[in-house]
Amino acid sequence: MELSLIVQNWQVFALGLWNTLWLVGLALLFGGILAIPLALTQAYKTPYIGKFSLAYSYAIRGTPLLVQIYIIYYGLGQFEAVRNSIFWVLLKDPYFCAVLGFSLNSAAYASEILRGAIVGLPKGLIEAAYACGMSRFKMIRRIALPIAYRRSIFAYSNEVIFMLHGSVIASTITIVDLLGAGRRLNSQYYVTFEGFITAAVLYMTIVAFISFAFRLIEKRYAIT
Amino acid sequence: METMLEFLPLVLSGVSLTISLALTSVTIAVLCGICGAAMKLSNSSILQVIGGLYTTLVRGVPDLVLMLLVFFGGQILINAIGEKTGLWTYIEISSFWAGTCSIGFIFGAYMTETFRGAFLAVHKGQIEAAKALGMMPRRYLVRIVWPQIVPHALPNFTNNWLVLMKTTALVSIIGLQDVVYNANQAGRTSQEPLTFLLLTFFIFLGLTLLSDIGLRKLGRIYAVK
């Protein structure tokens, strides 16, 4: 292990860290937004849409993220029509593909957590809301969702860590994320351990931060 | 459709590699998990610390990073040890074993938690009763504890297995010709990447569905009454 090599190339790792963080952050944001309708339609068994959400969530959770990313990045370009359309500007950009793939993936996992929390809400709570004259929409917005959120904090912290772990796949579609930075260092200087171990240590540090942050959030908001 | 049939044998050979890879890794994972759980549950504080470090390390580091480290680094490390000690000259780690060992090692950590939780779910009085009857540890572990661990561990085991199977897709990155690798090759050669990637998608979905149904049935048979 040559520490000086790592210190000299700190910019690569800083870039990798930055890319990893914003990719994961955006994916969690968009995934979280998309998870709400997915979870609600499943929990309240909306005709047709509920079944679709269920199938979507099962299919995404039942297949590797790597394959999903490959389908978006390598697969969609198969058709002339796609390559000629205005979307091609976005679809040939690895960063866009990564955010899209990660978001769709994260949405499925997050919706499963949220659905479980909504279904598990005490019946009396919902009945009380209706008895107070709330409409269904108001009940969901004011009662069901806030409580479901607070109940699913612990499970969601695991999903955040899994998303971070899954984000290493970005390095397979040419993005310089943390692992990509490690790989770049390794190939540039013909070394093996320096890049990977630095990446591993940095990933562990991020996980430690996430766990710490969620412990604070849990203490403040979680209800069981 | 014709191109699909042409490359179907290639993709199917990838499927068989994926399945054997998953089965080998899950065996390693169960062994690692039993060792890990035994360490975490032991009375020795050193073993507890090692067990704790093991699960924390795996939870902290992404699977692909560990896999690349084992694949590229393990080779160098093993040969350096061989050179220093003079016990062996040159050993080449095949990508199959690098893949299975790293996946097994990673999921061993999750299995550790599964087995530990299942062990703790076994009623203490049962072990005490077995001891009172004069059973030796090996005997009561095999006859009393293990049969009760299985039903408690099965739901978590099912989850771990489903995640493990998806993780095997990563071995294509270290050059193992699994279903993802072969489908990618077929897609490039035939200029129809989407066709073959979608095929892979549905193959994985099929494997997930099959194991989901199968293990759920098993779970119902062994369910805690």
Which of B60, B72, B193 is opposite residue A203, by nearest beta carbon? B60
DSSP class of B73: I
CB–CB contacts below 8 A, A to B: 107
pLDDT surpasses 90 at A40: yes
Q: Where do the domains of chain A lie? A: 3-221
Complex ipTM more than 0.85, yes or no: yes
Tokens of A110: 């997050």
How far apart are the CA of B21 and the nearest CA of chain A, in angstroms? 15
pLDDT > 90? residue A64: yes
Q: Which of B69, B193, B208 sits opposite A74 (nearest CB)?
A: B193
What percent of chain A shows pLDDT beyond 90? 72
Domains identified in chain B and CATH numbers:
2-222 (1.10.3720.10)
pLDDT by residue (tens digit) across A194-205?
899 999 999 999
DSSP 3-state assignment of B25?
Answer: helix
- Which residues 31-60 on chain B approach chain A with CB closer than 8 angstroms? 57, 59-60
pLDDT, mean over chain B: 89
State the smallest CA–CA distance between residue B159 and chain A in angstroms: 11
Q: Which helix (H) or strand (E) holds B203?
A: helix B193-222
The model carries a pTM of 0.90
Torsion-angle region of residue A177: left (phi > 0), alpha (psi -120 to 50) or beta? beta
Q: What percent of chain B has pLDDT over 90?
A: 45
Find the residue in B nearest to A75 (Cα): B194
Homologous superfamily of the A3-221 domain (CATH): MetI-like (1.10.3720.10)
In this complex, the residue of B60, B63, B69 whose CB is nearest that of residue A204 is B60
Task: Give the model's pLDDT for residue B225.
Answer: 58
Q: What are phi and psi of B67, to 5 degrees?
A: -65, -45
For residue B71, what pLDDT is reported? 86
Q: Which two tokens stand for residue B14?
A: 């990838």
> Token pair 């076994």 is at which residue?
B122
CB contact under 8 A, A79 and B169: no
> At residue A190, what are phi and psi to the nearest 5 degrees?
55, 45
Write out residues in chain B with pLDDT < 50, as ranges.
Answer: none
pLDDT band at A224 (very low <50, low <70, confident <90, very high): low
The 3-state secondary structure of chain A, one letter per residue: CCHHHHHHCHHHHHHHHHHHHHHHHHHHHHHHHHHHHHHHHHHCCCCCHHHHHHHHHHHHHCCCHHHHHHHHHHHHHHCHHHHHCCCHHHHCCHHHHHHHHHHHHHHHHHHHHHHHHHHCCCHHHHHHHHHCCCCHHHHHHHHHHHHHHHHCHHHHHHHHHHHHHHHHHHHHHCCCCHHHHHHHHHHHHCCCHHHHHHHHHHHHHHHHHHHHHHHHHHHHHCCC
Tens of pLDDT, residue by residue over B64-88, are 999 898 888 888 888 888 888 877 7
Measure A52 CA to nearest chain B CA, in Å: 16
Preferred mutation among A1, A13, A60, A63 to probe B, highest tally of B CBs within 10 A: A63
CB contact under 8 A, A192 and B72: yes
**Does the pLDDT value for residue A223 go beyond 80?**
no
**How high is the pLDDT of residue B115?**
92
Among A67, A199, A203, beta carbon nearest to B204:
A67
Nearest CA in chain B to A70: B197
Q: Taking Cα atoms as reference points, which of A51, A104, A55, A54 lies closest to residue A76?
A: A104
- Closest chain B CA to residue A186: B72
Q: Which residue has the tokens 């490959």?
A: A70
Nearest by CB to A203, which of B62, B170, B187? Answer: B62
Per-residue confidence (pLDDT) for residue B175, from 0 to 100: 86
Distance (Å) from the alpha carbon of B151 to chain A's nearest alpha carbon: 23
Query: What is the residue type of A135?
Result: S
Residue from A221, A185, A169 nearest A12 by CA = A185
